[in-house]
C-alpha cells in the first residue's frame, strides 16, 4: 500500500474506553481525519463499547484485525500500554497514548491532543457547516446551556482550586441584576429568545428543564457572542468550549490554562477566577463594543 498513511492501534487501557466510549472515538477519528487507514487489534473491549464508541466502526477506513501487519515498517503504531511483542518491532513511528497531563517528562515534551468536539457532532457532520455557523447572526450576548445539579463539589485543583459549576451559576442567579438575566425553562421561551431580536443579557438554559436537541446544539451556540464554559467534573474541559470556539462563540471560562495552547484573557476568551471577578467580567462583556467582540471572535476561531 505504497503512499498510503497506515496506522495499527493496540488499545486496552480502561481510560481509552471510558466516558461512554467517546475518548476511543475521538482518538481514532483524529487519525481518520488526518488521512490514515486504521487497523485496530481485536480485543473484548471493542465488542462492549458504549453509546459514543460504537460509531467508530462506521468511520471510513477503520477496521478490526486479528493480528499485527507483516509489513510493520509501513505503519505507525498507536498503543496505550507497553507490549514487548509489538514495541520491539520496527515501525515507521510509535505513538504512546497517555492521559496524565501532569506527569513529569524527562526527555521530551509530549504532544497534547487538542480537546475534541463531542462525537455526536462529528457524526452529524459539523465540519461542512462551519462557515455558515461562524457567520450566523448573534442575538444573545452571553449564553450558558448545560447540566447544573450535582456539580457543586470542588473537583478541580490544578493549577489552583477552581470554582465548581453549580456555585458559579448560583452566584450569577443571586447577584446579577434581573434585567440582565434570562432563565429559559420551557420550549416556548427558548424559541422566542433564539429567534428574537438582540438581547444584551446573560441567558441560562438549564438542562433539567429545557434540554437542547443534539442536532440543534451548534445552531444554538451560534446565537451567542460569548459562551459561558464553567468546569465539568474531574476534568474541567467540556466539549462545548471547543465547539463554541469552532463556530466563533467566544469562551467565557475559569480554566483557560487547561486548553492547549492556553487561552488568553482579552485575546481569545474572557477568563475569571473568584465570584467577584466573575461578576466584574460579566459587566465588562455587557459593555464591549462590536469591533472588540469581532476581533476576539476571530482569535477564538
d(CA 128, CA 22): 21
Closest CA to 99 of 43, 27, 47: 27
| Residue whose C-alpha cell is 466563533 | 248
Burial of 173 (0-12, 13-18, 19+ CB in 10 A): middle
Burial of 112 (0-12, 13-18, 19+ CB in 10 A): exposed
pLDDT at residue 154 tops 60: no
Q: Are 217 and 244 in contact (CB under 8 A)?
A: no
pLDDT, residue 101, reads: 65
Closest CA to 96 of 108, 79, 121, 73: 79
At 159, the pLDDT band (50, 70, 90 cuts) reads: low
The model's pLDDT over 14-58, given as tens digits with 9 standing for 90+, comes to 999 988 999 999 999 999 999 999 999 999 999 999 999 999 999
The model's pLDDT over 81-139, given as tens digits with 9 standing for 90+, comes to 999 999 999 999 999 998 876 666 656 677 778 888 999 998 888 889 999 999 999 99
pLDDT, residue 157, reads: 56
Residue 125 phi/psi, 5-degree rounding, is: 80, 60
At 158, the pLDDT band (50, 70, 90 cuts) reads: low
Cell of residue 237, nine digits: 474541559
* Whole-structure pTM value: 0.86
At 259, the pLDDT band (50, 70, 90 cuts) reads: confident
pLDDT, residue 163, reads: 82
Amino acid at each position: 500500500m505504497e503512499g498510503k498513511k497506515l496506522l495499527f492501534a493496540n488499545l486496552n487501557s480502561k481510560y481509552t474506553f471510558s466516558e461512554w466510549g467517546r475518548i476511543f472515538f475521538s482518538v481514532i477519528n483524529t487519525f481518520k481525519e488526518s488521512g490514515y487507514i486504521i487497523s485496530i487489534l481485536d480485543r473484548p473491549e471493542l465488542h462492549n463499547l458504549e453509546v459514543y464508541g460504537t460509531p467508530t466502526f462506521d468511520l471510513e477506513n477503520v477496521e478490526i484485525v486479528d493480528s499485527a501487519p507483516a509489513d510493520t515498517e509501513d505503519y505507525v503504531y498507536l498503543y496505550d500500554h507497553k507490549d514487548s511483542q509489538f514495541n520491539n518491532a520496527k515501525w515507521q513511528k510509535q505513538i504512546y497514548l497517555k492521559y496524565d497531563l501532569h506527569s513529569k517528562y524527562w526527555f521530551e515534551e509530549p504532544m497534547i491532543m487538542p480537546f475534541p468536539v463531542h462525537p455526536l457532532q462529528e457524526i452529524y457532520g459539523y465540519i461542512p457547516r462551519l462557515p455558515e455557523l461562524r457567520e450566523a447572526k448573534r442575538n444573545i450576548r452571553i449564553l450558558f446551556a448545560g447540566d447544573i445539579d450535582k456539580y457543586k463539589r470542588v473537583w478541580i485543583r490544578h493549577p489552583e482550586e477552581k470554582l465548581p459549576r453549580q456555585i458559579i451559576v448560583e452566584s450569577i442567579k443571586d447577584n446579577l441584576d434581573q434585567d440582565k438575566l434570562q432563565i429559559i425553562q420551557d420550549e416556548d421561551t427558548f424559541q422566542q429568545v433564539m429567534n428574537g431580536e438582540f438581547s444584551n443579557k446573560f441567558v441560562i438554559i438549564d438542562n433539567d428543564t429545557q434540554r437542547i436537541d443534539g442536532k440543534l446544539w451548534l445552531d444554538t451556540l451560534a446565537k451567542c457572542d460569548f459562551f459561558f464554559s464553567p468546569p465539568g467534573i474531574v476534568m474541567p474541559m467540556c466539549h462545548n468550549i471547543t465547539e463554541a470556539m469552532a463556530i466563533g462563540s467566544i469562551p467565557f471560562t475559569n480554566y483557560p490554562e487547561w486548553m492547549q495552547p492556553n487561552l488568553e484573557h482579552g485575546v481569545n476568551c474572557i477568563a475569571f477566577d473568584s465570584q467577584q471577578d466573575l461578576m466584574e467580567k460579566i459587566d465588562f462583556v455587557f459593555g464591549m463594543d462590536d469591533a472588540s467582540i469581532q476581533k476576539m471572535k476571530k482569535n477564538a476561531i
